[in-house]
Amino acid sequence: MITSLLLLAVTATTPAAQATTIAPAAIAAPLDYDAAKALADRDEAAMSKLSADMLRRSQSGVLERAAASCQTTEAPKSFTVVLELDAKGRVTNHWRNAETGLAKCMDDKLARQMFYVPSKAPFYISFEVSFTP
C-alpha cells in the first residue's frame, strides 16, 4: 500500500513540475521588429556619451564592411536592422524592416559580426540605413 501511494504521489507531481518549467518558455512570445526596435532605442538612449561614441565608431566599421560585401543593382531603399547582443557581444537574434536584397544581405552580414561588448545583456542595437540622392 505504501509503495502504491509513493508511486501515485510521484506520478501525480511529475507532470505539474514539468509544466511549471516548460510554461514560462512557452508563454514568452518572440519579439517582432517593432518591439525589438523600441528596445534598441531604449538601450541606446540610456548609454553614456562615452559609451555611445564607442558604439558609433564600432558600428561604423562593421557597417562599412557589410556594405562593401553587399553591393547590388537594385534601387536603394531605407531599412533598419536590429540586433540583440549577449553579454559577450555575440548576436543572439536579429530583425529587419525590409525585404530588399540589400536589406537581407546587410542583415545577414551584421548578424554575424561581433563588434561591441555591452554593459548589460540582452542589449539591443539598431543600424538605420538610408540613402540620399
One digit per residue, pLDDT tens: the chain, 133 residues?
A: 333 333 333 333 334 444 444 444 445 679 999 999 999 999 999 999 999 999 999 999 999 999 999 989 999 899 999 999 999 999 999 999 999 999 999 999 999 999 999 999 999 999 999 998 7
Cα 23 to Cα 15, 19, 28, 118, distances in angstroms: 12, 6, 9, 29
Q: What is the pLDDT of residue 28?
A: 64
- Verdict on whether the full-model pTM lies above 0.75: yes
The span from the CA of 120 to the CA of 90, in Å, is 12
Separation of alpha carbons 84 and 62, rounded Å: 15
Selection from 79, 76, 84 nearest residue 118 by Cα: 84
Q: Which CATH architecture is the domain 31-129 placed in?
A: 2-Layer Sandwich (3.30)
Q: Are the C-beta atoms of residues 79 and 98 closer than 8 Å to each other?
A: yes
d(CA 133, CA 43): 31
